[in-house]
Homo-oligomer: A and B are copies of this chain.
Amino acid sequence: MTMTLTQLGAFVLVARLGSVRAAADVLGVSEPAVSRAIAALRQHLGDQLLVRDGNGMAMTEGGSRLFGIASQMVALGSDAEAAVRAAKGAPARLRLLVASTIAEFIATPLLEAFGRRWQGTFDASSGVASVAEMRVLLPNRLADVALGPDLRGDASSGLISEPVLKYRIVLVAGRDFRAAGAPGRWPWLVDSSGTDPDSDTGRLLRGFRVPESSIRVFPNQTAAWAAAADGLGVAPAVATLVSRQLRRGELRVVDTELTPATACWYVTTLNPERRSAPARSLRNFLSTPDAMQLMCSPGTGVSPSRFRPPVYVTIWS
């Protein structure tokens, strides 16, 4: 009554090759075997998925949706065996979730330093997630540690957040910005955390009741700040991370009733007995002077071999 990986594999191959017969040849089975695998999927999902199109097969819209998902599933299926086999004697893995602000400046150098400190005993990677996503990924063990706001919403989840670093949130704007009207009417330039209601940025936007029409979302903080420097509006920022732009005079601080404000980054893990070994290590590492130093000063980049592209948790479904 449930889909099967072989069925999905057959479907993916047919969709890719545009032919049932060709797929059967590649798989080394008879053609009705493939045909029936697809028939089973059709019935289970209630969609034709693949329809005859002249010589070969074309995907319906539903089939196209399935295709992306099914491709991932079969790829993951083969990954699984490789991953488990490779795990024998391999370094333990640490998956760190970070809020987008942290991701941009801190996550990469932090993990780089962490990896250097433990010299191959840990294999660390980071992913960007919203607060809501962190709340579900951590208890489900899809990640080991989260770095961002306090996550102890409900004690039942078994999550423990501990303060790591206090910081100041300021509002910055270009040199020639003239404050006119209430802050809620200004143009706000934010990074993607502006769409996360539980983030600092989200709270700030809510605090000033900034209407959607006054918000421009940029793909990252630096781009938002560059736009602010160009006089397009105001942007929230962590004080230590914009110090260079402030020092050079590209940006200046704008005071409001809600800013400057102090906030705190927390490290969140499962409770101690359920906590994984890598999670324990990173949690300890965060309190070392090295880590403190990294978090206070803007990143200076990492060497290419160490670079890991950021990973976003949601994939196109």
Interface residues of A (CB under 8 A from B): 2-6, 15-16, 18, 44-47, 49, 60-73, 76-77, 79-81, 83-88, 90, 92-93, 95, 103-105, 108, 125, 127-128, 139-142, 189, 192, 194-195, 212-213, 215-220, 222-227, 229-230, 232, 244-245, 248, 250, 274, 276, 299-307, 309-312, 314-317
Contact = CB atoms under 8 A, between A and B. Distances in A.
Given A67-B141, A248-B229, A45 B195 contact: no
Nearest to A302: B217
Contact of A223 (B125, B213, B220): B220
A272 to B, nearest CB: 14
Contacts of A310: 219, 312
A189 B60 CA distance: 45
Given A2-B5, A84-B47, A72 B76 contact: yes
23 contacts: A4-B4, A44-B81, A45-B81, A61-B87, A61-B90, A64-B141, A68-B142, A69-B79, A69-B83, A72-B76, A192-B309, A194-B304, A216-B303, A217-B306, A217-B307, A219-B310, A220-B222, A220-B223, A222-B222, A222-B226, A224-B301, A229-B248, A311-B315
Count of chain copies: 2
A125 B316 CA distance: 8
Given A62-B87, A64-B93, A108-B219, 11 more contacts: A2-B5, A47-B84, A62-B84, A65-B84, A95-B316, A103-B219, A216-B301, A216-B302, A217-B307, A220-B222, A248-B250
A242 to B, nearest CB: 10
A81 B80 CA distance: 22
Contacts of A88: 47, 61-62
B300 A227 contact: yes
